[in-house]
Structure 1
Amino acid sequence: MATCELKGELKYRDGQTNQFAVKVDDNLKSVITGIKKINEDISVVLTALVEQEKGSTGNCKGDVDDDEEEDSDEEDSTKEMAATSNSEPPKKRIKTLRT
C-alpha cells in the first residue's frame, strides 16, 4: 500500500502560517482518521488563540457588557411595542376631499 499525506495550513491575521500534516494509508478509513487528527490539532491551536484573544480584550469587557445591556433594553421595548400594535386592529383612515 502507498502512503499518502494530508496537509493543512492555518494562516493567521499577521500573515504567519502553521502547517499541519498527517501520514495516511491509501484507503478511505485511514484518510478519515487523518482528517479527524488534523481537525483535532487545528482545534487545539484555535482554542489557544481564542483564549489569548479573550485575555487581551478582557480589559474592555466592562464596556461591552454595558452596551449589551442597553441593547437588550431597546429590544425589550421594541418587542412590547410590537405586541401592543399587533393586539389591536389598525384604525380606519378617513379620506378627506379637497375642493
Structure 2
Amino acid sequence: MSQLKEVYRSLNSAGAKPRGCSTDLSLIKIMMIDALKAVDPEGLANDRLCKRIVFAESRDDLWTLRGDVMSAVSLCVGESSAFEVINVIDEVFQSGTYQEK
C-alpha cells in the first residue's frame, strides 16, 4: 500500500498535475480502482464498485464513492491504512486542479 500511495503522490506532483476536468476525473477514477485492485487483485469482491467508479459522471459521484472505496480497502488492510490511501486521493479533490464549469 505504501508504494501505491507514493505513486499517487507522484501523479499529483508538479510534473503530472492534471489540467482539466476530464483528466482530473480520470486520475481520481484510476486512483480509486488501483486502490481496490491493490487489496483485491482478482477484482472479484469489488467488481461492482469498480464499475460504479468507471461510469461515474461527475466529481460529486466520485466523492460519494470514496466512502465505499475506503470501506472496501479497510476490510483488507485495516482502517488506518485505508484512511492514508483516501487522504492521498482527497489531495486530488482538494488540489484545485478541478475547475467546475
TM-score over 0.5 (shorter chain): no
Higher fraction of strand: 1
- Structure with higher RCO (Cα < 8 A, 6+ apart): 2
Higher fraction of helix: 2
Structure with higher Rg: it is: 1
